[in-house]
């Protein structure tokens, strides 16, 4: 078990993770190293409102590769990546207001946006929105980025 307490953004957040390599002898998933239960409790300091959440998961990481503290840190790190990726896609492409909603359209568009952002990152671009505007103004630049 591992626990962290953080204060920021007007709230106090406690996270507790419990890990196990067996569940009463029934953990028999291929490549499963551990299972975990993550409990989060947020107290909003201005209102005193309390939110509780419990998440269950499994990982291929063994206890030798990731103890409870590391699993908790990896869980936190995942959300920072997810949030920064969403922020870039929403601010650059206004993704939250997109109109493609049928069949595989949303997944295809998200994949294309991710491809464009990754391509720009690989070429050393740090200001994605400015680079997207520059590519929109110049097909030559876009073709150059694609290696054409």
* pLDDT tens, position by position, 45-94: 999 999 999 999 888 888 889 999 999 998 887 666 666 677 888 888 88
Q: Which of 4-8, 39-43, 52-56, 121-125 has the lowest mean pLDDT?
A: 121-125
pLDDT tens digits, residue range 9-55? 899 999 999 998 876 566 677 788 888 999 999 999 999 999 999 99
Q: Are 92 and 129 in contact (CB under 8 A)?
A: yes
Quote the pLDDT of residue 81: 65
Quote the pLDDT of residue 146: 85
Q: Are 15 and 38 in contact (CB under 8 A)?
A: yes
User: What average pLDDT score do residues 112-138 get?
Assistant: 89
Residues 3 and 17: their CA atoms lie apart, in Å, by 6
Residues 59 and 85: their CA atoms lie apart, in Å, by 23
User: Which residues make Cβ contacts (< 8 Å) with residue 25, sequence separation at least 6?
Assistant: none
Quote the pLDDT of residue 94: 82
3-state secondary structure (DSSP) of residue 52:
strand
Q: Are 37 and 18 in contact (CB under 8 A)?
A: yes
């Amino acid at each position: 078990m591992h626990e962290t307490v953080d204060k920021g953004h007007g709230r106090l957040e406690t996270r507790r993770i419990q890990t196990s390599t067996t569940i009463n002898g029934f953990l028999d998933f291929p490549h499963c190293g551990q299972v975990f239960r993550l409990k989060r409790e947020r107290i909003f300091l201005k209102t005193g409102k309390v939110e509780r959440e419990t998440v269950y998961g499994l990982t291929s990481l063994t206890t030798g590769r990731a103890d409870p503290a590391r699993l908790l840190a990896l869980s936190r790190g995942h959300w920072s990546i997810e949030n920064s990726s969403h922020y870039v896609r929403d601010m650059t492409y206004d993704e939250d207001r997109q109109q493609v909603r049928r069949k595989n359209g949303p997944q295809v568009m998200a994949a294309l946006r991710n491809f464009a952002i990754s391509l720009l990152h690989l070429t050393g671009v740090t200001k994605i929105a400015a680079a997207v505007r520059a590519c929109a103004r110049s097909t030559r630049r876009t073709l150059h980025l694609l290696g054409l």
